Amino acid sequence: MATVNVFGLSLNLDPNYGNNFIDANALDYTGGPENAAVDKILSLTRDDRLRLLLPYSVKKEIEHSNTPPEVKQRVSGLIYSMPVTLTAPEKVTHQRIRDLIQGNAEPGKHDADAFHLVEAAKYGRHFITRDGRILAKGRAIWDALQLRVLTPTQFIEDYFPDQGRTSVSSDDLEILRKFEHDWRTGSQAALPAGAAKRLIAEGYIEPIGIGFKVTDKGLALCQ
């Protein structure tokens, strides 16, 4: 049972009972701990420990030619929800959510975001995003939709604490993964001195001879 505090209420919102949706922007890595949290969320999904969906309404956004190839790669194993036709009451709710998150922005600018939220609420209970405008309206969205909006790190901390948080940066994580691949395949494996020092301090690699080897902790992080 995953009992969490949601705006002062102690609720059982176990993510294994119901769908969990992720926003396209959460998959566009920009550095920091959120990247590592998304990696964990995707890993949990691949291991069938989590049911993660993309709202169908973000499909065009993902398929757009301007979407980075690495984002398209991350979503390649995810399932889209079915196309949604809103009922009359849901259309009213969509308008209310659209007005809520629009604020002082240009009219129509956040129509798609509002639709993502209504769609996610129709079939799920969590919406994982990095969108600050949506996150700032989390309480009002919960009151209107009974949908919890939260960041990737919040999702991991609340529901999968066994995954733990790592202080390794996304840049060092990419360096570690490349090193682990080269080390495993017998290629010439080299590490920048600064990254090597940080990864040793965190216990992800250890010195061996004139080089380094990836520890079990490091191998687990690379999965």
Which range has the worst mean pLDDT, 67-71, 107-111, 119-123?
107-111
* Tokens read off for 184: 């495993």
Indicate whether 57 pLDDT > 90: no
What mean pLDDT is predicted for residues 29-46? 85
Q: List C-alpha distances in Å: 93 to 98, 104, 132, 141.
A: 8, 19, 21, 10
| Structure confidence at residue 106 as a pLDDT band (50, 70, 90) | low
Mean pLDDT of the chain: 83
Nearest to 152 by CA among 174, 170, 177: 170
pLDDT (0 to 100) of residue 211: 81
Domains and their CATH numbers in the chain: 3-163 (3.40.50.1010), 170-222 (no CATH)
Q: What is the pTM of this model?
A: 0.70
User: What does DSSP assign to residue 108?
Assistant: T
